[in-house]
Homo-oligomer: A and B are copies of this chain.
Amino acid sequence: MSAKSAETIPDIVIGRLPLYLRALRRLQQDDKQVTSSQELGKRLDISSAQIRKDLSHFGGFGKQGTGYQIEFLIERLQDVLQVNQDWSVVVVGAGNLGIAISHYRGFQDRGFSIADVFDISPEKIGQRIGNYVVQPVGSMAEAIHDKGIKIAMLAVPAEDAQSVADQLVEAGVRAILNYAPININVPDHVQIQYIDPVTHLQRMTYYLEA
């Protein structure tokens, strides 16, 4: 009992919700109906208290003695994260990485559809990638504006990342997933997240015996 919608939820909590959601979908695929903070915690290597506390920020999703209805909890988390709708996303950069992203099947059933793929290089433009035809960056702003797109995935060379990001923000994008291995500065009202496999690898080598 407590829909604490007024208070600000820590970002670190928001960051865990997609992990809960992912694990829950998997449990659902295994035909489970109900789970507990303990079971989830064991799978995710997160304490059960942590999970209960995180979920409690949004109201009581569970039942004492019973646990959580998986389907119900999935719906609630999708609501909270706003992924109960489909978000159109653009990919910028049609190199190896952009192509791989554009081919990736995993976005669709988790709330995201790729609307367009853009590149600046003349020999890329017009090329087919799966169902997409690579569009010129010159038409990017207009397309983003017209389609009301709020999310972009950036797969351009590091040197170009900042300037492309600026163009995206200018065009109305409010969230950027940056695959280029470089930090980018965006206004406060724009979300940014990074994918750089090497930082993960380097974090792990610290702990390895040489």
- Which positions in A face B, CB cutoff 8 Å? 14-15, 17-19, 21-23, 26, 43-45, 80-83, 85, 87, 89, 96-97, 99-101, 103-104, 106-107, 110-112, 150-151, 153, 158, 174-175, 177, 181-183, 185, 191, 193-208, 210
Contact = CB atoms under 8 A, between A and B. Distances in A.
A196 to B, nearest CB: 7
Contacts of A97: 100, 104
Nearest to A96: B103
Nearest to A85: B210
A23 B193 contact: no
5 contacts: A22-B198, A81-B203, A82-B210, A96-B100, A100-B100
Contacts of A200: 18, 177, 193-195
Contacts of A182: 22, 26
A205 B78 CA distance: 10
A18 B182 CA distance: 11
Nearest to A186: B45
A197 B106 CA distance: 9
A208 B89 contact: no
Contact of A175 (B17, B111, B181, B208): B208
A151 B201 contact: yes
Given A181-B106, A197-B195, A198-B112, A174 B208 contact: yes
